[in-house]
Amino acid sequence: MIDHRPLKIAVASGKGGTGKTMVSTNLAALRSQSGSTLLVDLDVEEPNDFLFIPGELVHVSDQFKMIPDWDQNRCTLCGICSKVCKYHAVIQLGTYIAVFKELCHGCYACSELCPVEALPMHPYKMGTISKKISQNLTFLESRLEIGEEQAVPLIHQTHNLVDKNYADFKVQIFDCPPGTSCPVVAAVKDTDFVILVTEPTPFGLNDLKLAVETMRKLGKPVGVVINRHGIGNDDVEVYCRQQQIPVLAKIPFSRQIAELYSNGSLAYQEVGSLESSLQQIFSYIQNTVKP
Partner 1 sequence: MNEIVILSGKGGTGKTSITATLAMLAGSDAVIADCDVDAANMHLLLKPDFGKGHDFYSGELAVINQDQCTRCGICEEKCRFHAISSPGGQFQVNPIDCEGCGYCEKVCPAHAITMQERFSGNLYISQTKAGSFMVHARLDIGAENSGKLVARVKNEAKSLAVAEKKQWIIVDGSPGIGCPVISSLSGATYVILVTEPTMSGLHDLKRIYAVIKKFRIKAGCIINKYDLNANKTNEIKRFLDEAEILHLADIPYDILFTQAMVEGKTIIEIQSPYKPVFQQIWSKLSEQLNHKKQ
**25 vs 37, which CB is nearer to partner 1?**
25
DSSP 95-128: TEEEE-TTT-----HHHHH-TT--S-EEEEEEEE
Alpha-carbon distance of 291 to 285, in angstroms, equals 10
Residues that bind partner 1 (CB under 8 A): 14-18, 21, 45-46, 48, 51, 84, 86-87, 105-109, 112-113, 144, 146-151, 177-185, 201-203, 206-207, 210, 213-214, 217-218, 231-233, 255, 258-259, 261-264
Please, which residue, 171 or 224, has the CB nearer to partner 1? 224
| CB burial of residue 147 (10 Å; 0-12, 13-18, 19+) | exposed
Closer residue to partner 1 (CB): 113 or 288: 113
Of 36 and 152, nearer to partner 1 (C-beta) is: 152
Q: How far is the CB of 246 from partner 1 (least distance, A)?
A: 21
- 3-state class (DSSP) for residue 46: coil
Give the C-alpha separation, 291 to 253, whole Å. 33
- What's the rounded Cα separation, in Å, for the pair 30 and 278? 8
Closest C-alpha to 98, from 89, 109, 107: 89
Q: How many other C-beta atoms lie within 10 A of the C-beta of residue 250?
A: 18
- Residue 150 CB, shortest distance to partner 1, in Å, is 6
CB of 283 to partner 1, least distance (A): 28
Taking the C-alpha atoms of residue 134 and residue 210, their distance in angstroms, rounded to an integer, is: 35
Strands 121-134 and 137-144 come out as: antiparallel
Rounded to the nearest whole angstrom, what is the least distance from the CB of residue 105 to partner 1 in the complex? 5
With respect to partner 1, which residue has the nearer C-beta, 253 or 284?
253
Q: How far is the CB of 85 from partner 1 (least distance, A)?
A: 8
Beta carbons within 8 Å of 162's beta carbon, 6+ residues apart: 38, 40, 140, 172
Residue with Cβ nearer partner 1 (59 or 255):
255
The CB-of-273 to partner 1 minimum distance in angstroms stands at 20
Adjacency order of strands within the sheet including 121-134: 58-68, 121-134, 137-144, 37-41, 171-175, 7-12, 193-198, 222-229, 247-252
CB of 36 to partner 1, least distance (A): 26
Nearest distance in Å: CB 29, partner 1: 16
Of the two residues 201 and 279, which places its CB atom closer to partner 1 in the complex? 201
**Which of residues 46 and 62 has its CB atom nearest to partner 1 in the complex?**
46
